[in-house]
Structure 1
């Protein structure tokens, strides 16, 4: 049995989720707004939080940022919304949300996401604390990591000449200019990120969705928005 906090301003959604998860043997705590969620979190971290994005006082993403900032994001959080954009879902996962469920939520998707979240929480609890490793100066032949990519030239990871050069697992080089407007730089990085994972997974959308933590539908929309074509990448890496 797990302690699950459900945060949603719609009474019908709260009651439905409470009924479903209670039938699964979980203890459910309900909050109808961010303030009640804060109070519930202050009483102790639940095993999992289901958090609605659009709420009248403070939206779910803002509350998620607040918990992350204050060191309170110690439990898996699954975001929920029927109106969120892809950018909102991606932002939530970047902040620390484990998953995103689109309303109306299908029963099997809900149960699968909750189980995955509880499994993640148990793995975190069981993981032994690691002693800090001594900092060793990198030798010229070493290739430190930058955001999941291997940096071929460590100096390129710094804002030298306004950009960075990184390489994916297949040693394909990616260049990113820091002189771009923020939105364009973000899109460029996301394009590199998804191309990297699509290349590693042979174009498999299922495996890429699992790796990136996105629902397949959201992944398809995001790739279309970025102009990334999985089919071409799969053929290129075949």
Structure 2
């Protein structure tokens, strides 16, 4: 037990001293902070094994400090919130941000000791925190994303998260996750083929996370559809992700139409990193802190010029690319500071990054408005789809017909029906 260091953050001297005496008698090392400023300063210097954090403090409340630590990548230790007059909503918000537990004042001795013991068991595995929505930044794009997720939070239907390769899908799913319930991630499509209902048993009353549904083979898609029809029975929320537009895959018969309908009722688009570039410096510092504290890289810091260079990059690989660049820079620099000179070659190397594996064909984003009747939406998509293939083939109708799987007579009829002008491209029929 000795050696565990506990930081107590509370503006009431009597509570600080009482908790400190009890915990020191139990053999713990105790540090004290009377406000958020002191706690912030202490955390910037070192990582305690546990923090007991008061919610209501005069300079900065505990929830705000918790959010700061989450955004900065410093929420790598268990935090237990304390309050004498917090609401249930406040406690839920704290756990959603990343707090491990909540204690109501006055705190009974046995409650204190049992909570501390339970929290310290988590301390050893807390070095790599689950990235939360708060850690993605506070730009307008992230605030809009949070508002959309808040809107669907009470809904029980499956949720489909879409966006570019490398965006932060999992933090969004974590935001929809009810704390202290099962979280199950699909790790192999074969489970959906062999025993899909075992996933529901494991995730009962919790959340099932299915990454990249567009990559599932057809038999696994059938298993997922079967599973979706039984979600209510097991009280499971399903969150799926796709970095490829699903509708073109449905049209090409690579993705099950019924599964697409079941997944697309609640769709949220996760913004690419370039749409909230103002958050990049904080995200880079946060990732570097996490890498240092998990001992994956030596102690390093990013210079102001390096951070500005990162902010100006377009990030085709999004958050995943940012992590790779920060980690590579931290491992390869000779000094303690990562400079603009260290960053530039890594960004030039990633400039040609493919948003998907090169052997995976990627359909273009589909800018079809969903605020229109189905027939009009289908016609609009088909028009865009055929115009895309006409451009790609230079108007070669034989190649277009082969690509889209239509007889040439049917293709001409469809183009005429949709008002797509073939123009002089028809002369390329046999090239």
TM-score (normalizing by structure 1): 0.59
Using the TM superposition, give the Cα deviation of residue 50 of structure 1 relative to its aligned residue in structure 2, in angstroms.
0.1
Query: Cα distance 1:108–1:158, how it changes in 2: closer, same or farther (>3 A)?
Result: same
d(CA) in 2 for partners of 1:99 and 1:65? 15
How do 1:1-238 and structure 2 match up within 5 A? 1=2, 2-124=4-126, 137-139=215-217, 140-143=221-224, 149-150=237-238, 153-158=262-267
TM-fit CA distance, 1:142: 4.6
Structure 1 position 26, deviation (Å)? 0.6
Give deviations 1:30-85, integer Å, cap 9, x for gaps.
00000000011011110000000000000000000010011110000000000111
Aligned mates of 1:107, 1:28 — CA distance in 2: 16
Give 1:157 shift: 4.3
- Distance in 2 separating the partners of 1:141 and 1:48: 45
Deviating 4+ runs (over 4 angstroms) = 133-136
Call closer, same or farther: CA 1:70–1:159 in 2, change over 3 Å: closer
Cα 1:124–1:142 shift into 2, 3 Å: farther
**How many residues are aligned here?**
154
1:123 and 1:74 mapped to 2: Cα distance? 9
TM-superposed CA distance for 1:141, in Å, is 2.2
Measured in 1, the distance between the counterparts of 2:127 and 2:39 equals 23
Tell me the alpha carbon deviations over residues 170-221 of structure 1, each in whole angstroms, 9 at most, x when there is no partner: xxxxxxxxxxxxxxxxxxxxxxxxxxxxxxxxxxxxxxxxxxxxxxxxxxxx
Q: Is the 8 A contact 2:78 2:126 kept in 1?
A: no
1:156 shift after superposition:
3.4
Distance 1:78 1:50 in 2: 5
What residue in structure 1 maps to residue 421 of structure 2? none
Say which structure is richer in helix.
2
Q: Could you say which structure has the higher strand fraction?
A: 1
What does residue 155 of structure 2 align with? none
Following the alignment from structure 1 to structure 2, what is the Cα–Cα distance between the partners of residues 86 and 59? 16
Gaps of 5+ in 2: 129-186, 189-210, 240-258, 270-431
| Matches of 2:113 and 2:8, distance apart in 1 | 14
Aligned partner of 1:192 in structure 2 is: none
Q: Give the deviation of 1:6 after TM superposition.
A: 0.2
**TM-score with structure 2 length normalisation?**
0.33
1:159 Cα shift? Answer: 5.1
